[in-house]
Amino acid sequence: MNTSSNSVAKVAGACLLAGVLFSGCLKTEEFPATPAITFKSFEFFGDSASLTIAFTDGDGDVGLDASDVAPPYDTSSIFYYNLFLEQTARVNGQWVTVGFDEPIYYRIPRITPTGQNKALEGEIAVAIDPFPFFITGISDTVRFSVEMVDRALNRSNKVFTNEIIVP
């Protein structure tokens, strides 16, 4: 019986040792420090809409705290916000930027992970409410561009929503 207990202990110890050794071999996700985004979805709900993007960021410096109001994140700076939407309309086959009285900017809350690996990968969904169709009468098709900025002021790539037919 003692020999059986020793064998079980040895197998358990070997499994534990193998688990520890192999866990060091697991590759952690690595992404560039500049955020990268991809368009996921756009859903229209009459007078509001929802936009979802996927993102990666290698150093995890995405988002701002409410207390982040010192320059360059102060209210007079464009970097008070960190997610930017612009609407474009197709006019004579060309996409033209549509200006609004109030820009469509968002402030993503801080989502920096704790621990040694700061790389981030996830999705961000924003509600566009009310939905600001800018109808000029010269276009029936619009789309949005989306861009994100991290705390180091690295700008992501710009992505576009699918085309939206204006009723």
Q: Helix, strand, coil % (nearest 5) of the chain?
A: 15, 35, 50
- DSSP secondary structure string, the chain? -HHHHHHHHHHHHHHHHHHHHHHTTSPPP---SS-EEEEEEEEE-SS-EEEEEEEEESS----B-TT--STTSSTTSGGG--EEEEEEEEETTEEEEE--SS-EEE-PBP-PPPSS---EEEEEEEEESS------SS-SEEEEEEEEB-TT--B---EEPPPEE--
pLDDT for res 16:
44
* pLDDT tens by residue, 138-160: 677 888 999 999 999 999 999 99
Task: Provide the CB-side half-sphere exposure for 135 (13 A, CA).
Answer: 8
| 36-165 placed in CATH 3.40.50 | no
For residue 26, is pLDDT > 50? no
* pLDDT tens by residue, 85-143: 998 888 888 998 887 777 889 999 998 777 778 889 999 999 887 776 555 566 778 88
* pLDDT tens by residue, 2-22: 544 444 444 444 444 444 444
Radius of gyration of the chain (CA): 24
- pTM to 2 decimal places: 0.77
Nearest to 107 by CA among 154, 155, 146, 148: 148
Rounded Cα distance between 156 and 129, Å, is 24
